[in-house]
Amino acid sequence: MNVATDNWREVQATAKQALTDELVAFIDGCCSGPEPHSNLIAVLHKVQHHFGHLAAPQLDAVAQLMQIPAAKVAGVASFYHFFRLKPRGRHMINVCLGTACYVKGADRIAQRLIDELGISWGETSKDGMFTLEGSRCLGTCGLAPVLTVDQEVYGNLTPDQVPLILDNYLKKAREEKQR
């Protein structure tokens, strides 16, 4: 009996279980090309798109199936800001920190969000409702200072509007729960 081969199959099977058939097929396709490792970012994007973030079991599975050292896969995932290693909240808050918004008080908006939610940049509130992120110009400078919650744009903000915006989403969540 070839022990190494048996173990290899087991490792591959475990890796596949951490993903979906579609993701495994995508990885297989990437690995059949001339430079499989160059597809790592594309694979991580696809995995994140499906799961919402890149958790350790999925990163390990990608490493196994692509035959890339796990440390390298984890390094790539943590290097790029567009990869998320923790689950995101139900709503994504994006505060514009571009020049026009900054001049109009984006820092005070951001601080109010941080105080209200009790979290810092990139973190998710304890109730799982909100993830807080900052970004460069959102393209609506005329409304500065601006933030978005998911696809919704809120402009001409004052810090006192922040709790009202948050309450709105919390209220909707409560109503949905009661239905």
Q: Which residues bind ligand FES (CB under 6 A)?
A: 96, 98-101, 137-141, 144, 146
- Of 58 and 148, nearer to ligand FES (C-beta) is 148
In the complex, which residue's CB is closest to ligand FES?
Answer: 98
Minimum distance, C-beta of residue 100 to ligand FES, in the bound complex (Å): 4
Cα–Cα dist 106/104, whole Å: 6
- Of 119 and 147, nearer to ligand FES (C-beta) is 147
Residue 170 Cα distances to 92, 94, 129, 131, 173, angstroms: 13, 17, 8, 14, 5
- Of 155 and 163, nearer to ligand FES (C-beta) is 155
* Strand partners for 144: none
Cα–Cα dist 85/173, whole Å: 25
Minimum distance, C-beta of residue 91 to ligand FES, in the bound complex (Å): 19
36 preceded by cis ω (within 30°)? no
Minimum distance, C-beta of residue 140 to ligand FES, in the bound complex (Å): 5
- Of 78 and 156, nearer to ligand FES (C-beta) is 156
Minimum distance, C-beta of residue 135 to ligand FES, in the bound complex (Å): 9
Minimum distance, C-beta of residue 151 to ligand FES, in the bound complex (Å): 15
Cα–Cα dist 60/47, whole Å: 12
Cα–Cα dist 84/133, whole Å: 11
- Of 129 and 137, nearer to ligand FES (C-beta) is 137
> How many other C-beta atoms are found inside a 10 Å radius of the C-beta of residue 179?
4
DSSP letters along 51-62, please?
HSS--HHHHHHH
- Of 76 and 138, nearer to ligand FES (C-beta) is 138
Minimum distance, C-beta of residue 106 to ligand FES, in the bound complex (Å): 7
